[in-house]
Amino acid sequence: MSAPLILLLDKNHPLIVEQLSERGFQFEEDYTSSYDEVLSKIHLYDGVIIRSRIPVDARFLETAKKLKFVARVGAGMENIDTPKAEELGIALINSPEGNRDSVAEHVVGMLLILMNRLFIASLEVKNGIWLREENRGDELMGKTFGIIGYGNMGKAVAKRLSGFGVKVIFYDILSDLGDEYATQVSLETLQKEADIISLHTPQTPETHYLIDEAFIRNMDKSFYLVNTARGKHVKTSALVDALKEGKVRAACLDVLEFEKASFENIQTSENSDLDYLLNSEKVIVTPHIAGWTVQSKIKLAQFIVDKILQLNL
């Protein structure tokens, strides 16, 4: 039996090649070819390891006649046609366990910076401005923290919050997920009680514009919004209006509606809503790095290796 041949379409930690090579796998690295160029040779490979550069759609999968698995080094699988892969018997692998700790720390870090005006106050002092009352912070202690989506990321966030004196509740489409860190509630209860909303759901038709005018209107309290999941979960125009009106007190955004599919940049065409987010003191924006630590790069890759080996190719 010939050694499995794997195509690497995105750069990842070298441990993937190192460890799988020791187990007899062979590799080809291709970090520059276009979709059509990859399609012309995909029939040669037993497996593909990706991040987000190339969409693995139905045409891709149907052309890949030898393909036994697609492994995404990351959590989301929206760039893969999962029903088609399942129909063709192609195994799908991802590694949300690898960056859940990184995401959780990013959520808490962004909130602490935002609510305590740390970034703003630091810039002011560095520019010779010393304001104390204007930079009075808002404590997490005593607030109700609402999580939407209680998978790897949501659970890791709840665990990190256990020492902050907050009440943690969550909503998920699956039932019986509550644990020692958070209580499962209905979406209506979450909207009634939450002071903070943090999103941890995959990108699906159901989660597109999850946070829109209606969702915001149905929140009983003015609230903080945190999004480290996918940019299209939030309707930006609705968020901007709510920030201006005060219904959303402030927002921490690691992802934006205007990101390119590869997450490598944002669409830079003139956009007044985006301009507002980038220039508002009520908003912290980071470049899709919540899951992007030194440690998560290693862990993401290691989980992928372990899961590929479990396939017993």
Query: In whole angstroms, what is the distance from residue 196 CA to residue 173 CA?
Result: 19
Pick the catalytic residue from 13, 230, 233, 249.
230
Q: Are 215 and 199 in contact (CB under 8 A)?
A: no
Q: Are 240 and 277 in contact (CB under 8 A)?
A: yes
Amino acid type, 183: T
Known catalytic residue: 288?
Answer: yes
Known catalytic residue: 13?
Answer: no
CB proximity list for 275: less than 8 A, separation 6 or greater:
none
Q: Are 7 and 45 in contact (CB under 8 A)?
A: yes
Secondary structure (3-state) at 285 = strand
Query: In whole angstroms, what is the distance from residue 199 CA to residue 146 CA?
Result: 9
Detail the DSSP E strand segments found in the chain. Answer: 5-8, 26-29, 47-50, 69-72, 91-93, 144-148, 167-171, 183-184, 196-199, 223-227, 248-253, 283-285
CA dist 140 → 116, 137, 157, 161, 228 (Å): 10, 10, 14, 9, 18
Secondary structure (3-state) at 186 = coil
Query: In whole angstroms, what is the distance from residue 258 CA to residue 263 CA?
Result: 9
The closest of 13, 2, 64, 21 to 292, measured between CA atoms, is: 13
Pick the catalytic residue from 13, 233, 257, 259.
259
Known catalytic residue: 230?
Answer: yes
Catalytic residues, which ones?
230, 259, 288
